[in-house]
Amino acid sequence: MYQIPKKPGGLAMTGVLSFGVKIAIAAVTIAVGILLVRWAMIRRRAAREQ
């Protein structure tokens, strides 16, 4: 039972929104990964200096 959206651009907007959410999640994941790597490198450097 597929319902046709009343607005012609409704389906396109939903696709754009879900695509934007995917991009946002990917960006956050990459940013967190970079932060973790930098934090680990700083900790390793500090441990080596002691």
C-alpha–C-alpha distance, residues 37 and 33, integer Å: 6
The reported pLDDT for the residue numbered 5 is 56
Residue 13, pLDDT > 80, answer no
Average pLDDT, stretch 39-45?
94
Percent of the chain with pLDDT over 70: 76
The DSSP-derived string for 1-50 is -PPPPSSTTHHHHHHHHHHHHHHHHHHHHHHHHHHHHHHHHHHHHHHHH-
Residue 2, pLDDT > 80, answer no
